[in-house]
Structure 1
Amino acid sequence: MPIENIPEIYFQNKKSEQDIFVYDFKMTSDVVKSKVNLSMNMFSFLQVGKKQVHFADTSIAVNSKQSLLLKKGNWLWTELLDTEVIYYCKLFFFSEKILTDFLSKYTNDVKPFKEDVPYFVIENDDYLAAFISSLSSNTFTNHNFSDALLLLKFEEIMLYLLNKYGNSFEYYLHSLISKEVSPFKNVVESNIHSNLKLEEIAFLCNMSLSTFKRQFTSEYNEPPGKWLQDKRLQKAKELLQGGDLKPSDIYLDIGYNNLSNFSIAFKNKFGVSPTDI
């Protein structure tokens, strides 16, 4: 699956760099785990549909009752239609320069969270609904003062959220301009029990699959496929020994696409069928 460079693919003038940008995104079919290289921090104001995102060592799912502020970087996006036949959200992008200017103007020099959480979940309310409805790419494309107006809209939403969430949002904003990158092992070990494929974990590490495999073998002295399979099967055994779950309940979460493959791998490792546990 090709990597989408966002928001660059939305720019009408491909040569111009923009510090702040709004895009109305619509879709009429589900997209599962598309690869996104997000070069700017971004608000995702989901209006119709459901969204799940994976970033390095974490993931989050939201519906239209919530909005997300996402850190720039490599993401896997899953966007699903709801009862409607269209998926619709408004994307509001801003550069690190815009954010830095805002923080120096309105906030204190605070230390960000120790844990580097790449998203902030926003609970929608009446004010946010009115704000979202005021955002439209057409309005800001054809407006004589579009840049100045967009900057005011950015400050408006930021100041509202600072007031709504207080210190937690302020700390999060400061963490966005941190240059620290999640260590390789954190990304790998946070996805041991996910159903992500090797190639998808490699993408979240900002690596090609071949580079990821070399780095993995160097770190763990074992090929990633075998290492992850062993860890996931051990987790499956623990879940089944708990007595509340059947093999059909867990094989997808353990990273297998069908029950038969899971059962064969389980029996090869432990000598018994998962149904016998």
Structure 2
Amino acid sequence: MDITNFPEDLFENNYTDTSDLQIANYEVYKHVSKNKINLNKNVFSFLLDGQKDIHFSNDIVSIDHTQSLLLASGNFLTTEIVGANSYSCLLFFFSQKNIKDFLLKYGHLFNPNDLNKAAASSPYFLIEKDNFIIHFINSIQQIYGLNQTISQKILELKFEEIMLYLADKYGQSFFVYLNSLLINERELSFKMVIEKNLYTSLNIDEVAFLCNMSLSTFKRKFIQVYQESPGKWFQLKRLNKAKKLLLNNKATPSEIYMDFGYDSLSNFSTAFKNEFGYSPKNIMKN
């Protein structure tokens, strides 16, 4: 079964990893069972129609359109059940930095002694939908309907709005949950190193060094997180990026092969042809 990477696969044509906050509408018209999700950011999942079942490594949660979830980054399986018309939800992605900034700004609202009582981090926080949250969802949809490239400034205000409301609604339990996400940040830090160096010329050994790991430990950790060997994963990602640049006439093979970690144009061309069935020169000819 294929793995779906969120938010990347939702923004496949114009995805950039520089935005901390992102909005996306997600809708399907048939049941999806045990879809493998690799969530690379935290996300508010505001369910609009249908039912969602999520199977985590140590828990299972089911919600309908009267509920929403804050999901921590990580891997899980989702079953999406179509409602009256479809399965649909509004997704509001945010980074660890957004959590840190929020806690720094509003730390005076919670009792730091309670944070020491925090249990192990849960992969989700259940949110009961009420009139405020319904109006919040509607406001996001109206803005998104007018302009799908919402500015980060507007998204920052909307993020702060929903976070403050949930802090008011759920009190200390919400702050404790947010803090637990930061405590369990090691895996996210690993992913950040991977994503930052995805389209560089660094080899696997060099990326492992940046992660403060031996090569063997890095490979084991990588397979645990991404369910694929690092060599194969990096090569496919980099070749697809190179292909996109060539298709858009933004570079020639001789200009970019070193940027993606190849020591010669010949090696790059061979890997490209093995993956796509034709050489990079053929793209330039077309």
Q: TM-score, normalised by structure 2?
A: 0.60
Residue 179 of structure 1 and its aligned partner are, at CA, apart by 2.7
Q: Structure 1 unaligned runs (5+)?
A: 183-203, 211-277
Q: Is the 8 A contact 2:52 2:80 kept in 1?
A: yes
Q: Is the 8 A contact 2:49 2:85 kept in 1?
A: no
Residue 148 of structure 2 corresponds to residue 141 of structure 1: yes
Residue 28 of structure 2 corresponds to residue 27 of structure 1: yes
Which residue number corresponds to residue 90 of structure 1? 90
Name the aligned partner's letter for residue 9 of structure 1.
D
Task: With a CA cutoff of 8 Å and minimum separation of 6, indicate the structure with the bigger relative contact order.
Answer: 1
Local SS of the residue matching 2:36: strand
Which residue number corresponds to residue 41 of structure 1? 42
Q: Is the 8 A contact 2:7 2:40 kept in 1?
A: yes
Local SS of the residue matching 2:93: strand
Q: Number of aligned residue pairs: give it.
A: 187
Q: Structure 2 unaligned runs (5+)?
A: 188-222, 230-286
Residue 116 of structure 1 and its aligned partner are, at CA, apart by 2.1
Which residue number corresponds to residue 75 of structure 1? 76
Change in Cα spacing, 1:17 to 1:103, as seen in structure 2 (3 Å) is same
In 1, Cα distance between the equivalents of 2:99 and 2:69? 16
Name the aligned partner's letter for residue 118 of structure 1.
P
165, 172, 180: which one pairs with 1:175?
180
Matches within 5 A, 1:80-159: 80-82=81-83, 84-107=84-107, 108=110, 109=112, 110-111=115-116, 113-136=118-141, 137-139=144-146, 141-143=148-150, 146-159=151-164
Residue 114 of structure 1 and its aligned partner are, at CA, apart by 1.8
In 2, Cα distance between the equivalents of 1:132 and 1:147? 17
Q: TM-score, normalised by structure 1?
A: 0.62
Residue 16 of structure 1 and its aligned partner are, at CA, apart by 4.0
How much is the aligned-residue C-alpha RMSD, in angstroms?
2.5
In 1, Cα distance between the equivalents of 2:27 and 2:226? 30
Structure having the higher helix fraction is: 2
Cα distance per residue 1:235-268 (max 9 Å; x no partner): xxxxxxxxxxxxxxxxxxxxxxxxxxxxxxxxxx
Change in Cα spacing, 1:140 to 1:58, as seen in structure 2 (3 Å) is farther
In 2, Cα distance between the equivalents of 1:15 and 1:154? 19
Residue 57 of structure 1 and its aligned partner are, at CA, apart by 0.8
Name the aligned partner's letter for residue 178 of structure 1.
I
Cα distance per residue 1:40-94 (max 9 Å; x no partner): 0000000100001112111100001110000100011111012x13111100000
